[in-house]
């Protein structure tokens, strides 16, 4: 989650050392935890950490929202301004599919020129790389870069900070140079340009607290964009640990796909308690993994009836009545 590297007074980058050790275990010793081996084979065979067919990547939008496919646009000789990178969670996770639909509705409503890869999209390779399977990451990345470059993609939007970080900071090493934008940044920019106007609406008077995703915040220094969007929607309250001091939700680095190590308390429980302390009505997130963990935390605390957990895109879509 990069907190250790940020705090270190002598600038040691612990995560890169940890990933190096994981690479040794996975690639030299073949000693990855069983759950992660299953994830690796799913990514190899299906292009996603879960056992879904790659052709099903388009089903999230089925009947809920119209999304333009890059292949169709190309056939008509059109070049959209943005590629929307849906990501494996956005395509397959039942809860996060709702976010993909909400964000696509917002893009359509605002007349943004974009396309999606559909069944041609595959895992960005982030999970494989963090979990130490460097070869699988590079295979995924090179395959994706070939497709993206084939379509002449210049700008990519994504709702997933893990994909955002990988596409923006790691794909250039393999020849994938793109301008990558997180959905919170796009929404903020559209507000500034006067193309998106948000007023309190149904959220006026609601207290919203924002949980910072590690790969948006500490990894990429983006703390303001989500807060500016949420500030236009309702009253925002901060958790005691926020921005660069925010606590991780406990799911990144492949941790979501395996059992937690022994300890006294789950990280996501600690973070849910931070959120509950604020007295907020809504916990806003901007990452599929954070969404899963915070939702689980609210269930464990029996608070899911009183407190909602929404992605920023869903709150904007609600505000626009979509």
Q: Over 17-32, what HEC string results?
A: HHHHHHHHHHHHCCCC
Residue 266 to residue 268: CA distance in whole angstroms: 6
- How much of the chain exceeds pLDDT 70, in percent? 100
Cα 71 to Cα 19: distance, rounded to the nearest angstrom? 36
pLDDT at residue 249, as a whole number: 97
- Count of other CB atoms within 10 angstroms of residue 146: 11
pLDDT the model gives residue 205: 85
Q: Please give the pLDDT value at position 196.
A: 96
* Predicted local distance difference test score (pLDDT) of residue 208: 97
**Helices and strands of the chain, counted as H and E runs:** 14, 8
- Looking at residue 281, its pLDDT comes to 97
CA distance 312 to 285: 6
Cα 198 to chain centroid, rounded: 23
- Pairing type for strands 114-115 and 235-236 reads unpaired
Q: Tell me the whole-structure pTM to 2 decimals.
A: 0.96
8 Å CB contact between 311 and 286: yes
Tens digit of each residue's pLDDT (9 = 90 or more) over 27-63: 999 999 999 999 999 999 999 999 999 999 999 999 9
- Strand 282-285 relative to strand 82-85, pairing: unpaired
Task: State the average pLDDT over residues 137-147.
Answer: 98
Inform me whether the pLDDT recorded for 134 exceeds 70: yes
Q: What is the pLDDT of residue 37?
A: 96
CA-CA-CA-CA torsion sign (201, 203, 205, 209): negative
> Does residue 19 surpass a pLDDT of 70?
yes
Contact (Cβ atoms closer than 8 angstroms) between residue 92 and residue 104: no
Summarised one tens digit per residue, pLDDT across range 238-258 is 999 999 999 999 999 999 999
Residue 200 has pLDDT above 70, yes or no: no
Q: What average pLDDT score do residues 221-245 get? A: 96
The average pLDDT across 208-224 equals 97
Instruction: Tell whether the torsion through CA atoms of 203, 204, 205 and 210 is positive or negative.
Output: positive
Task: Tell me how far apart the alpha carbons of residues 202 and 322 are, in angstroms, rounded to a whole number.
Answer: 12
Per-residue pLDDT, averaged over 109-129, amounts to 97
Nearest to residue 235, comparing CAs of 202, 265, 283, 203? 203
Percent of the chain scoring above 90 in pLDDT? 97
Q: Any idea how long the chain is?
A: 322
> Residue 70: enclosing H or E segment and its boundaries?
helix 70-75
Tokens describing residue 167: 């596409």
Mean pLDDT of the chain: 96
The pLDDT value given to residue 202: 80
Task: State both tokens at 19.
Answer: 């990933």
Per DSSP, the three-state class of 128 is helix
* pLDDT value, residue 199: 82
């Amino acid at each position: 989650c990069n907190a250790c590297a940020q705090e270190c007074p002598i600038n040691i980058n612990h995560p890169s050392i940890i990933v190096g050790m994981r690479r040794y275990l996975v690639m030299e010793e073949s000693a990855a935890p069983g759950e992660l081996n299953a994830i690796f084979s799913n990514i190899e065979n299906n292009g996603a950490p879960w056992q879904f067919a790659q052709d099903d990547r388009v089903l999230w939008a089925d009947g809920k929202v119209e999304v333009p496919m890059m292949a169709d646009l190309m056939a008509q000789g059109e070049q959209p301004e943005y590629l929307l990178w849906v990501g494996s969670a956005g395509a397959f996770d039942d809860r996060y599919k709702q976010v993909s639909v909400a964000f696509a509705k917002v893009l359509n409503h605002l007349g943004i020129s974009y396309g999606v890869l559909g069944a041609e999209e595959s895992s960005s390779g982030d999970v494989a790389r963090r979990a130490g399977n460097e070869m699988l990451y590079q295979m995924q990345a090179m395959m994706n870069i070939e497709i993206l470059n084939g379509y002449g993609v210049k700008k990519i939007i994504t709702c997933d900070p893990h994909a955002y970080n990988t596409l923006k900071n790691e794909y250039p090493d393999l020849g994938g140079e793109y301008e990558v934008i997180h959905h919170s940044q796009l929404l903020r920019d559209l507000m500034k340009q006067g193309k998106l106007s948000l007023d309190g609406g149904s959220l006026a008077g609601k207290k919203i607290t924002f949980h910072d995703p590690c790969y948006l915040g500490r990894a990429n220094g983006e703390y303001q964009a989500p807060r500016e969007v949420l500030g236009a929607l309702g009253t925002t309250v901060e958790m005691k640990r926020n921005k660069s001091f925010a606590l991780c939700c406990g799911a990144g680095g492949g941790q979501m796909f395996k059992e937690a190590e022994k300890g006294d308390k789950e990280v996501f429980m600690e973070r849910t308690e931070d959120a509950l302390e604020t007295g907020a009505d809504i916990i806003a997130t901007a990452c599929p993994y954070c969404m899963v963990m915070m939702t689980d935390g609210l269930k464990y605390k029996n608070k899911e009836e009183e407190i909602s957990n929404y992605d920023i895109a869903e709150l904007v879509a609600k505000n626009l009545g979509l």
